Amino acid sequence: MEKYNITSEVAVYQDDELSAEDRELVELAKKATQQSYSPYSHFQVGAALRLEDGTIVTGSNQENASYPLALCAERTALFHAQHEHPDKNVVALAIAAYANGHFYPEPISPCGACRQVMLEVEDRYKRPMRVLLYGTSGTHVISTVRDLLPFQFISESLKK
């Protein structure tokens, strides 16, 4: 029997420690929470991503009376970005959540489905995507989606 550990590195930044670009992305993710359509959960999620040429695309969660049809903020932004700019990779994606009249102290982490979609974007462009998880106590920065989703199932997995 053999054992091994998988580690992920997370850096926690205060607002004044973030680069101007990252701060802008976080602010836009926070702003995007206000465009959420979430009459069922009342949990407003915003996402903002930056493409390699600096273009920013935002998204928010979009719910439905048929609950499972809801689409998370991350996927709303990612799919739109890939539709509008299929030739540009995503360098960073920021996420924020607002509920009960405030942003949460601890950051929310993307759901499993969104992690899989984020992974596909890294795989598609063969470039890492930085993930910025905003909370009022700090922004948690992960330098690649691979650190959020160990044991990846990607295009290469289909060829084995």
Residues catalogued as catalytic? 74
* Binding to ligand THU in span 117-156, by CB under 6 A: none
Rounded distance between C-alpha atoms, residue 10 and residue 78, angstroms: 22
Query: Which one of residues 34, 41, 64, 137 is an interface residue with ligand THU (CB under 6 A)?
Result: 41
* Binding to ligand THU in span 50-69, by CB under 6 A: 61, 63
Q: Which helix (H) or strand (E) holds 95?
A: strand 90-99
By CB under 6 A, tell whether 110 contacts ligand THU.
yes
Are 68 and 113 a contacting pair, CB within 8 Å?
no
Q: Which is nearer to ligand THU, 60 or 82 (CB)?
A: 60
Query: Which one of residues 35, 70, 135, 154 is an interface residue with ligand THU (CB under 6 A)?
Result: 70
Are 129 and 91 a contacting pair, CB within 8 Å?
yes
DSSP classification of residue 72: -
